[in-house]
Structure 1
Amino acid sequence: MKKSLLCLSLLLAVSLSGCGKSKSTPPPAASATPAATSSGAASKVDAQALFKANCVSCHGVNLEGSVGPNLQKVGGKLSKDQITAILNNGKGAMPSFKGRLSDDEINSLAAWLSEKK
């Protein structure tokens, strides 16, 4: 019983550590060709690349969730401003990305996620 509890605790700790790990190499923040947003404006930041570099370990490759919640329809539940606040301040086990990502990166990621409905 103690052995299985220890293994489960260790597995949980390893899983959660992926969400807060610091990056050893900077993510590909800006794309060579600006991506167009749904409003038609050009974006300097590739939000999908940011997601892959910073969020996949907890939210999954297809936003399906694993350690973190499913984000496939997050835009139907939360506004861009609410998502921006969560990215800046963190929530629950999710760390804050303020200081890790620039304001432009956070805004682009929040806009991209808010389109997921």
Structure 2
Amino acid sequence: MKKMIVFAILLGGIIACSGGNDKSKSNSKSATAIDGAKIYKSNCMLCHGDDGKLGLNNSKDLTVSKLTKEERIDIITNGKNTMVGFSSLLDEDEIKAVAEYTFTLK
């Protein structure tokens, strides 16, 4: 009888610990915040620098850019001059997040 009680308590504990908050793993990126800064640092910082001013390989100083969000999205997507496009590496939401992040580089 004692073994049965101990087993029931252990089983209840295992079930309680494993239940948790089971949110569907099918959450899209749009449902979670996309970190434009992180994407910028891993894809753009080499040429534009951490602060957007580096100008390596003739890249533009992002701190003085007058481009609209749509224009920035287009350049990030398709590239321009020596900059390659990122449409094959980043999805639409990630590109938008990077474009929005570039406005903070002032």
Calculate the TM-score normalised by the size of structure 1. 0.57
Question: In structure 2, what is the Cα distance between the partners aligned to 1:116 and 1:78?
Answer: 13
Q: Secondary structure at the match of 1:72?
A: helix
Question: In structure 1, what is the Cα distance between the partners aligned to 2:51 and 2:103?
Answer: 15
Shift, 1:69, TM fit: 1.6
Q: 2:49 — aligned with what?
A: 60
Higher helix share: 2
Flag structure 2 segments of 5+ consecutive residues without an equivalent: 1-30
Shift, 1:116, TM fit: 4.3
Q: Which consecutive segments of 4 or more residues in structure 1 shift more than 6 A?
A: none
Q: Secondary structure at the match of 1:63?
A: coil
Q: Does 1:87 align with 2:58?
A: no
Higher strand share: 1
Instruction: For residues 6-63 of structure 1, give each alpha carbon's deviation from its aligned partner in whole angstroms, at most 9, with x where no partner exists.
Output: xxxxxxxxxxxxxxxxxxxxxxxxxxxxxxxxxxxx9621111111100111001111
Flag structure 1 segments of 5+ consecutive residues without an equivalent: 1-41
